[in-house]
Structure 1
Amino acid sequence: MIYELSFFDEFIQQYLPSSQAGVSEEEFEEKKKLLREEGAGVRSRMIIHVFTFKRQSGIEIYIQHHQSALIALSDSLLHYMDGQCIRSIYKLSRTNHFNNLCKLCYQALEEILFWIETYFSQYFNRDGKLPEVHKLIAIRELEEKTGILDHSLVAAGVNAELIRIALLPLRKFSENHPPRTKSYRKLIWLKELVRELQQLGERGQGHGDKDKTEEDIFSILCYLNLNSVSFYNYYTAQFRKEIENEGTIAEQLEKINWLKRNISQLQEKPGFALSKKVVSAKEMLLQWLSEEQKYIGSKQELNPKQTDQPGQKEMPINMNISVAQLGCLLRWLVDTEIFTIQSHTDLIKFFAANFTTFKRGKISPGSLRIKYYDIDMGTANAVRDLLFKLLHYSKKT
């Protein structure tokens, strides 16, 4: 097979070791020009050679062979660069021409690699390892963004365990895991996760609704297919609580159907997954819900007396607010004695049975009870805005 990188092999393996004592200004300018010309030459020769292949498989082998060689050459440059040099890989020194040649060589190799990834994307091996310098730069950037995301999610009142699960892939990438886990595909996935969470933060600024933020995070994690064990354990535990908070077996089965419908309707980004070897995040949750449905259904068959035989029910009233906002509003109405009641429990059950919310549909009495007694600042602000809206409207009538 034709190999287009012989110049870079010779430059790294022969020229650099013999030049560590120092490089003159004249020699630096000469090698700088050669590196630039050879980088362009490699691209030109590869384009010409690709058109000589009669089969796609030949092109794939040729491209991936050069991809692997470029990464190996880039990594071999680390023998000549210290930490400071790596951190300033794109900035040339005024005096140290040897370091500058190492940097220019790396940049030339990186440009060829990026060119291959861009113009031969269908043949590029995205499961291949990242170049070490690329990996170190990516880790530094992701660590910074992870800290910012963590702070913004905590400020939004998001559940601490959910924050840990959402950001865990970012933190694992920064740790000393095997190199094979730091692939192009993994980095692309992580950058998309960061982008989606950043956009969520920008959209959610000021609305202060913790429940909506957590629902949006769930949608993002399903969209990007965060199919991890921690994701599965967290959400199946949440769903189990919601199901068990329903009063009867029939209501539990109805809740499961509602959860399955909502999850089935969530979008998935084609070709994206934290792990390609595991079923999708949506599929693992739907499978768990189906198993729960079978189990609870079998209990209903064994205990027919527990089967509900309700009379004709009136259609519940749908409200364009969240469960947390409804709980807060009810609590304020009771505390200000606008509602005079004997039992908080009966009030909660009544509203859960006769009202639905725009996001969750049928309301679980247990979920409404939690929000009734535990009002966070974001929810209180959202309800306050709603009351101001009503007050403003009343002045028009």
Structure 2
Amino acid sequence: MYRTVTYELLSLEAWLATGKRPDRALAGKMKTEVARIREALLTGVLTLTDETHVQRYIRTHHFGIIQLLNKVSGNPKSMEATTSLLELLTVIESTFANHLDPEAELCQLHAQQLAQQCKETISQLSKNFAKTTVSEKLQAVFVNMFRKLTTTHVVTYHQQKFAHELIDDLTWQFANTEPDALEKELTKLTLNRDLNSTRAFYFWRDLIKARMNTAELSSDKREQLLEVQMEIQHTSEKQKGYHINTASLRDQVLDYVSWEMNYLDRSETSVKKSTDRPAENFRVRTELSVSQLACLLKTLVDMRIIVNPNISELLRFFAQTIVSKRAEAISFDSLRAKYYNIESGTKEAIRQTLQSLAKTLS
């Protein structure tokens, strides 16, 4: 036997369809009906066993209440109806938050309240930033996001939640972070909260370019890129981005770092092709995998048998001059990653190889 639920807003929709101000008796009925709907929704959710059906049930009523609110809010004659509907909306959004559609539009009243809150936040940010050395570009990333929410015609439930949580984060940062450390912490916050706006991406792009410009050699530029890559990879994301259907800021920046690395590779390859001599194409062939080669190399470095100070140049040299057991060409990035992340099985394989080598010398 199928379990059934009903649409609970029919009475409210019928009462409000006339557009007339509810009299005292009807206002009392509406309060009673709102209380009944609240209990009916809780019962309906318990009746349904399929998660998809629960979600559809809640979202249908959430949408219906928002439409009713948009119809009556702003009308002085419907203040009691607005209050009752807001109470019901609050119950749904607090009780069934996990089932709501993140891309559902806010009711007009909540959108107006959010716009006002964002205006106040922009004003407060301007005062707070004036006391710090935070760059104008980084300031603009945050201010511009809040400014858009004051002018856009459509604000979603997700954007409201995002804005509220970001306001809390910024308030905490200004209250607990030393002024000189704010630039670094707010830069991290763009990734933590995933401010995946165009302005945020351009901020990171310019930041990376500035770091690369401090280096003259390609190897040093690559080192800067690898440092940025590692910093970003170790930065966690707390939630979905501001633009819910756009790639995360973290992924966008990592893609840009990869593009810059590939550009350096192409530039180096172009230079090598013009200067290489036939003898320089010689490569040493080994029976080691890339992981084993990285482990052996790290062992030689740790034991001070190899004493080159620049590990990146050393890894690049090995990648260019050695052929592994399975790969004719070894990627510098792959060798570097294996060098800094050696697995226990690889260590055991190299230990056995070195033991066999020692036996041949005895």
Does residue 263 in structure 1 map to residue 263 in structure 2?
no
Does residue 122 in structure 1 map to residue 93 in structure 2?
no
Distance 1:313 1:120 in 2: 58
What's 1:6 paired with? 10
What's 2:263 paired with? 295
1:154-206 deviation per Cα after TM superposition (whole angstroms, max 9, x unaligned): 3212212221122211100100x242xx01101101111111111111013xx
1:11 positional shift: 3.0
Distance 2:127 2:115 in 1: 18
1:18 positional shift: 5.8
Distance 2:235 2:61 in 1: 40
Deviates more, 1:116-125 or 1:251-260: 116-125
TM-score, L = length of structure 1 = 0.64
Distance 1:127 1:110 in 2: 19
What's 2:182 paired with? 213
- CA spacing shift, 1:294–1:79, aligned 2, 3 Å: closer
1:311-351 deviation per Cα after TM superposition (whole angstroms, max 9, x unaligned): 85499xxxxxxxxxxxxxxxxxxxxxxxxxxxxxxxxxxxx
What's 1:239 paired with? 208
Does residue 229 in structure 1 map to residue 233 in structure 2?
no
Distance 1:31 1:18 in 2: 9
Q: Which has the higher contact order (CA 8 A, sep 6+)?
A: 1
- AA of the residue aligned to 2:146: L
- AA of the residue aligned to 1:240: K
- AA of the residue aligned to 1:33: G
- CA spacing shift, 1:70–1:301, aligned 2, 3 Å: same
What's 2:162 paired with? 189
- Please tell me whether the aligned partners of residues 38 and 88 of structure 2 are also in contact (alpha carbons under 8 angstroms): yes
Does residue 108 in structure 1 map to residue 94 in structure 2?
no
What's 2:66 paired with? 71
Distance 1:50 1:286 in 2: 42
Distance 1:47 1:261 in 2: 47
Does residue 38 in structure 1 map to residue 33 in structure 2?
yes
Does residue 249 in structure 1 map to residue 249 in structure 2?
no
Distance 1:78 1:114 in 2: 15
Of 119, 124, 129, the residue aligned with 1:153 is: 129
Distance 1:153 1:279 in 2: 29
1:238 positional shift: 1.9
1:253 positional shift: 1.1
Distance 2:179 2:199 in 1: 26
- AA of the residue aligned to 1:214: E
- Please tell me whether the aligned partners of residues 227 and 279 of structure 1 are also in contact (alpha carbons under 8 angstroms): yes
- Please tell me whether the aligned partners of residues 253 and 297 of structure 1 are also in contact (alpha carbons under 8 angstroms): no
Secondary structure at the aligned position of 2:20 is classed as helix
The aligned runs of 1:309-348 (5 Å cut-off) are 312-313=308-309
Distance 2:114 2:21 in 1: 31
- AA of the residue aligned to 2:194: N
Distance 1:145 1:174 in 2: 11
1:31 positional shift: 4.2
- Please tell me whether the aligned partners of residues 102 and 156 of structure 2 are also in contact (alpha carbons under 8 angstroms): yes
Distance 1:18 1:225 in 2: 45
Distance 2:49 2:234 in 1: 44
Does residue 144 in structure 1 map to residue 120 in structure 2?
yes
- Please tell me whether the aligned partners of residues 139 and 173 of structure 1 are also in contact (alpha carbons under 8 angstroms): yes
Number of residues paired by the alignment? 275
User: For structure 2, which runs of at least 5 residues remain unmatched after alignment?
Assistant: 276-306, 312-362
- AA of the residue aligned to 2:15: F
Distance 1:314 1:118 in 2: 56
1:2 positional shift: 2.2
- Please tell me whether the aligned partners of residues 149 and 198 of structure 1 are also in contact (alpha carbons under 8 angstroms): no
- CA spacing shift, 1:117–1:251, aligned 2, 3 Å: same
TM-score, L = length of structure 2 = 0.70
User: For structure 1, which runs of at least 5 residues remain unmatched after alignment?
Assistant: 20-26, 82-98, 316-397
Distance 2:268 2:94 in 1: 58
- AA of the residue aligned to 1:34: K
- Please tell me whether the aligned partners of residues 73 and 82 of structure 2 are also in contact (alpha carbons under 8 angstroms): no
